[in-house]
A and B are shown apart, each in its own frame.
Chain A
Amino acid sequence: MNPRKKNKIKPKYILFTLIIICCILIGISINTRDSDNFIQQGLSNVIVPMQKGINSIGTWISSKVENAKTIDELTKANEELASEIESLQSQIYALHNNQAELDSLRELLQLKEKFGNYNTVGARVIAKDSGNWYKTFTIDKGSNDGIAVDMNIIAQNGLVGIVTEVGNDYAKIRSIIDDSSSVSAMNLKNSDRCIVYGDLQLLEKGLLGIELITTNSDFAEGDEIVTSYISTKFLPGISIGYVTNIEKDSTGLTMHANLVPIVDFERINNVLVITDLKSAFMDDTAAESEDETGQ
């Protein structure tokens, strides 16, 4: 096939060289944090605009596909949506009630309303991880819009994930359903702590895992789980989901459970980035308490 084959370097030498390059790269990247990896940054800056472009083509095509759906399907979807709106509205009322109750209780306790409102920036999801094994995605805002690593992402009033890498015009997010994600959380009812982790196998059923519940802590089906105060990266009080399937571990000392996430991870197009950082929060509180002691 190729007349110049004789003059070429043998494939196995190339193979060895490339394998060695791979090993060196793996070694280097294990020792450096990926956020200050300039190769990754540079290439992402080139690729992300292209992804944006192609993504818009994808959206266009899928909108055409949507158009081709039959009227039956649409009416059915419409009905479903209408009932969803109803349930959402009732949820809003319930939340209003809760808010009122919360306000009154806060007043009673004279708590500062510290964790009530976070500053947010809206962003659009432009690409998902290319494989089937991970659940990470890219959004179209980056450091130019004030996004930084470790910022929390929410959508539909629930926790979506955390920013793991930032470029000028994009940011990468690891969602909480990713197999490598774990979030320090607590029961909203009684602040009992637990860990919420992603698991590819549970995800199949649309669930996450909860572990490290001690047997004397009080968890019940349907309890709301929120991010905890002790997490170093996640801001406290963001809803994650509801408890289900509580089971005792074989050791008898701890329990595990599953969690139904609030966010519908199948349909995330727009997300909110909370621009407050937990680390900044902790510095503030530290400074404040210093002030108080100073006076």
Chain B
Amino acid sequence: MKRVITYAILIILSFLLQSTVSTYFALGDISPNIMIILTTSIALIRGNTEGMVVGFFSGLMLDVLYSNYLGIYALIYLIIGFILGFFNKIYYQEDITLPIILIALSDLMYGLCIYVFFFLIKGRFDFFYYVQKIILPEIVYTVIIAIFSYRIILKVCGKLDKKGSEDLIV
């Protein structure tokens, strides 16, 4: 139960940060994607079931508040959480390079999904423009933020484990 509440708080917190504070610190009109950092980190630290569920609810949050179609972001985050969960097997806590690379990778996946779902179907074919101007800068910025926030998430997860909270979600 403690884990569920912690995740809920983490999701709400990162959503709030992303929608308010991060826009103040946007560089070149690009803001970092904190939700993806959360989803990827949880998926890496805890495996694909939890990554998937956290991703689903993070996405749902974005859907409910910002998207016209409920469920699209949820689907994208869900799949990212699931896929990234597989890397849990080759992951160990002391290493920070792998998580950072994977966060970059999942932000890339996210960018591509948004491009395909929302822009390609509208006939915006200039793919490289979007890569250059939005996807890549977002990845760079997200990675910079990830270096700090990943450690925080890791610490929170470590605390949860230590307290022997065995009642896992699902």
Contact = CB atoms under 8 A, between A and B. Distances in A.
A134 interface: yes
B88 to A, nearest CB: 8
A115 interface: no
Contacts of A50: 12, 16
A132 B66 contact: no
14 contacts: A2-B168, A8-B168, A11-B85, A14-B170, A18-B78, A22-B78, A40-B70, A43-B64, A126-B20, A127-B20, A131-B31, A132-B138, A200-B134, A266-B29
A57 B70 contact: no
B148 interface: no
Contact of B170 (A9, A23, A55): A9
A254 interface: no
A270 interface: no
Interface string A153-167: 000000000000000
B96 to A, nearest CB: 19
A218 interface: no
A201 B29 contact: no
A128 B19 contact: yes
Interface in A40-96: 40, 43-44, 47, 50-51, 54-55, 57-59, 61-62
A interface: dominant SS: helix
B87 interface: no
Contacts of A57: 21
A19 B99 CA distance: 25
A23 B75 CA distance: 8
A59 B12 CA distance: 20
B68 interface: yes
A216 interface: no
A19 B12 contact: no
Contacts of A26: 69-72, 75
A84 to B, nearest CB: 21
A11 B71 contact: no
B52 A132 contact: no
Contacts of B53: 14, 18
Nearest to A39: B64
A177 to B, nearest CB: 11
Q: Which of B18, B22, B65 has the most CB of A within 10 A?
A: B65
Contact of B56 (A2, A18, A40): A18
Given A8-B168, A50-B12, A131-B31, 15 more contacts: A15-B48, A15-B82, A26-B69, A29-B68, A43-B65, A47-B65, A54-B21, A57-B21, A129-B66, A130-B62, A132-B134, A134-B66, A179-B119, A200-B119, A201-B129
B109 interface: no
A26 to B, nearest CB: 4
A14 B49 contact: yes
Interface string A116-134: 0000000000111111111
Given A40-B70, A61-B21, A127-B19, A133 B118 contact: yes
Given A4-B168, A11-B48, A130-B66, A22 B21 contact: no
Contacts of B24: 58-59, 61-62
Contact of A44 (B29, B64, B118, B170): B64
Contact of A58 (B21, B49, B56, B85): B21
A79 B94 CA distance: 52
Interface string B126-161: 100110011000100000000000000000000000
Contact of A40 (B25, B33, B65): B65
Given A26-B70, A132-B31, A11 B82 contact: yes
A1 B47 contact: yes
A264 interface: no
A84 B166 CA distance: 63
B101 interface: no
Contacts of B23: 58, 127-128
B74 interface: yes
Interface string B37-59: 00000000001110011001000
